[in-house]
Amino acid sequence: MAAAGAIERIAHGVYRMAGAPPREHETIYATWLALGGATSPRTGSGVAPLVAAGTTAAIVHDIGDFLLDGLDYIVPARKGTRLPDVRLRIRHLVPEDVFPVDGLPTLTVERTIADLVDLGTDMSLVAGSVRDAVQAAKVLSVDRLIGHLDATGRRAGREVAADLFELAGVHPEGWHRD
């Protein structure tokens, strides 16, 4: 069918009907499908087996100024792939860590920001994500963000959040610097 032009190959084993418009973030979705994200069973805690994370999640949430230079997903257990530029990280997630964005399991905005910090992403880039998220009212819980930042173990979550909010020049609802 691909040779006849009826379908277009997007990724290994993933095709789109010819003439159908490409979807936003098609590469991210196609890779998720190629890795079995839609067909693998959920974890024991009910979390999707493949969750967009790091800069991939930030791009899906449309926060920050990141280029798609690789794809980052969280999996519950060791999983291999031959797909180029795909990083699979093993992490334990709970349902509150994941939010579907147009059907793609993605870390919540708060968890994404903490994940970027944990990955050592430049703080000015993370602050840009924070600014975009606050301005779009996507930061739903400052307390949850602080809790996720605490879990990174780098510094107290409240201090990191304060630095990010100051760098971003925003003060989300519910933020009180003590």
Reduced to 3 DSSP states, what percent helix, strand and coil does the chain have, rounded to the nearest 5?
35, 15, 45
pLDDT single digits (tens) 35-63: 888 777 777 788 999 999 999 999 999 99
Higher pLDDT, 32 or 12: 32
Q: Measured between alpha carbons, how far is residue 166 from residues 19, 45, 77, 158 in Å?
A: 46, 36, 37, 12
Whether the Cβ atoms of residue 125 and residue 119 lie closer than 8 Å to each other: no
Q: Does residue 90 have a pLDDT over 90?
A: yes
Specify the pLDDT at position 17: 77
* Chain mean pLDDT for the chain: 87
Helix 109-118 to helix 54-61 angle (10° resolution) is: 150
